[in-house]
Amino acid sequence: DAGVIQSPRHEVTEMGQEVTLRCKPISGHNSLFWYRQTMMRGLELLIYFNNNVPIDDSGMPEDRFSAKMPNASFSTLKIQPSEPRDSAVYFCASRLGLAPYNEQFFGPGTRLTVL
Amino acid sequence: KQEVTQIPAALSVPEGENLVLNCSFTDSAIYNLQWFRQDPGKGLTSLLLIQSSQREQTSGRLNASLDKSSGRSTLYIAASQPGDSATYLCAGAKTGGTSYGKLTFGQGTILTVHP
């Protein structure tokens, strides 16, 4: 299995631009999680889906952030407009089932820099 | 709010030593505990998952234990090697309530094993 796939791996953009991060979960996994990691705040859960349905988006920092999961094999995290404080590494993770009885697997992350 | 604390924040040991990383959580209710490793600039790699009905899990030189009554988990690394140098994170999850399915991460322990 290829594992969780994220693209792009690096993104540099200017303040005010729209940014779209992409994730392909492990085949067969029906729960998908978006995290953000910074030195100051550590690893934060932004939103997670089960069977393509958003379960909890309470971690999404602002209305500028939105996430979708149109099918079982694809999810996007969009920031519009982007700001310098959004600079971070964004991770996608997937798991079989919503209950945490199974391991959660992470993608390699997207390093976002907003100038 | 569930909090997960990892001690120490950083640890430096000579090659060959056995070492223990600690993880504590404020809510000792039903808990699953997952240990991860993160190399610089990389994603998180799952090491061990301890389900609430288990007390420990072993994989090679790694052994993780879970004591729900005291709200603690430990990761034991035997015969440490320079290749073990990384940040180790623990993450806990409830199996019920509004936090169902979520993992709450500690801030991590930065381990350096020098030759």
- Which pLDDT value is given to residue A99? 78
Specify the pLDDT at position B77: 97
From the list B34, B43, B100, the residue facing A91 with the nearest CB is: B43
Residue A104 to residue B107, Cβ atoms within 8 A:
no
Q: Is the peptide bond before B40 cis (omega within 30 degrees of 0)?
A: no
- Most distant CA pair in chain A, distance: 41
- Please identify among residues 2-41 of chain B the ones whose CB lies closer than 8 Å to any CB of chain A: 32, 34, 36, 41
Q: How confident is the model at residue B102 (pLDDT cuts 50, 70, 90)?
A: confident
Q: DSSP per residue over A20-83, as a string? A: EEEEEPPTT--EEEEEEEETTTEEEEEEEEETTEEEE-TT--STTEEEEEEETTEEEEEESS--
Interface contact B43-A106, CB threshold 8 A: yes
DSSP structural state of residue A95: E
B 40-59 residues with CB < 8 A to A: 41-46, 49, 51
Determine the pLDDT at residue A1: 66
* Residue B101 pLDDT level (bands cut at 50, 70, 90): confident
In this prediction, residue B1 carries a pLDDT of: 56
CA–CA distance, A101 with B30 (Å, rounded to integer): 12
Per-residue pLDDT tens digits for B88-98: 999 988 766 66
Are the C-beta atoms of residues B30 and A101 closer than 8 Å to each other? Answer: no
Chain A residues in contact with B50 by the CB 8 A cut-off are none
Q: What is the pLDDT of residue B96?
A: 66
- Residues of chain B with C-beta less than 8 angstroms from the C-beta of A111: 41
Task: Tell me the average pLDDT across B58-82.
Answer: 93
Do A98 and A53 touch, CB atoms closer than 8 A? no
Among residues A40, A46, A29, the alpha carbon closest in space to that of A99 is found at: A29
Cα–Cα separations (whole angstroms), residue B82 to A10, B13, B22, B36, B112: 28, 9, 20, 17, 7
Task: State the residue for tokens 């199974």.
Answer: A102
CB contact under 8 A, B46 and A43: no
Confidence of residue B107 (pLDDT cuts 50, 70, 90): very high
Q: What percent of chain A has pLDDT over 70?
A: 99
Give B34→chain A minimum CA distance, Å.
Answer: 7
Note the pLDDT tens digit of each residue in B22-69.
999 887 665 688 999 999 989 999 999 998 788 899 999 999 999 888
Question: Could you report the average pLDDT of every consecutive run of 10 residues in chain A (115 residues)?
Answer: 92 97 97 94 93 92 94 97 96 89 92 97
Q: Of B43, B49, B105, which has the smallest distance from its Cβ to A42's Cβ?
A: B105
Q: Looking at CA atoms only, how far is residue A43 from chain B in angstroms? A: 7
Distance from CA of A18 to the nearest CA of B (A): 24
